[in-house]
Structure 1
Amino acid sequence: MTFPFRTPDVVTLSIRGSEDIFPVNHIYCVGRNYAAHAKEMGADDRQPPFFFSKSDWAVTSGDVDYPADTNDLQHEVELVIAVGEEMSVFGFGVGVDLTRRDIQGQAKKDSKPWFRGKSFPGSAPVSKIIPLEKRSDYSDLNLVLSVNGELKQSGSCRDMIWSPPEILCELAADVPLQAGDLIFTGTPEGVGPLAKGDQVIAAIPGEVELSFSIL
């Protein structure tokens, strides 16, 4: 039995310290997982976080073309959890949830899904994956993002509303988590606009860094 057409290539990420590569499956994202970010977006920080998704083809480790149909591309730095076999945590990295904020804003007003605002080619830059065995605890990591050398976002995973273990439990109650899944765990405050020519550096200081340009 054969497929009637060529299947898409598997999207992969590098693994630090290994020649193996991490195969990306589904991408899940947590919205409003930091109270300060919820407030800066005009949302009620007393409401619990929630999930949305991106397509696997949104993942990139390189430069990003400024997307079509938007005049307000924004950055959101996040801890990314890489899921292993049997819903274990394989590792973690740093990612940027790039967002077409104007499209997302209109979707909110119309009570429609955020998909067009959140999922487009290059909307999920992700660093190399750090195997969890390299660092047994990742709940106290810090996140930073700079644009053209100017610090824009700085936060701590300690300030999450749902901790990483809680995120896994909440998500696993709704969907069958599989090896290769990525979970963007939410962004701290300080999100802001990006323009063509901008150089973005996102990092978990002392652990991993991701650098890309907006073309």
Structure 2
Amino acid sequence: MSPEEVESLYARLAAANPEPRSELEYRDPFTLLVAVVLSAQATDAGVNKATGPLFAVAATPQAMLDLGEECLAERIRTIGLYRTKARNVIALSRLLIEHHDGQVPSEREALEALPGVGRKTANVVLNIAFGQPTIAVDTHVFRLANRTGLAPGKTVEDVERKLLAVTPSHWMQHAHHWLILHGRHVCKARKPDCLSCCLDDLCAFASGPS
């Protein structure tokens, strides 16, 4: 895409959704971190069903430790990989208390050192909780970036690097939300809703998918 087309793409997404928000429910940086860790290979709706009751009793690292791994696993058993995720949440809660005074760090290196936290999770937390200009590339963003021609790449890292390079600074704060939500609800994997897409005339896929 040309710079003018990229500008138009973000302007249209912004017009359609001026105040984009994560579909995960959270209260603060810690509950956001836990929700994002739990969301790996799971739907946001499914995570929200489990975290609503969970955060009512364990919304801090210490409360999560007090709950314990077995009880946590039972509370999130409807989420895929729940045992591994319970182990990670307990471990990261312990590390937050031991090394960060119970607070979620705002530095990428410190976040990625926590169990269950990879680059995508760190990007989400840095952007939403701390307002940093990051773009989290999940399957929806990866698909959208390649389909439209916005930032084609063969790997998540390629797509993230290109998105950071082509996205104008004034759109950066909400870029990953716009892209994730558009990919999730319009540019869907099996049946993209091209007829109602506000990006139709900008999109390489709409012109004729390979």
**TM-score after normalising by structure 1:** 0.22
- Greater Rg by CA: 2
- Higher-RCO chain (CA-CA 8 Å, sequence separation at least 6): 1
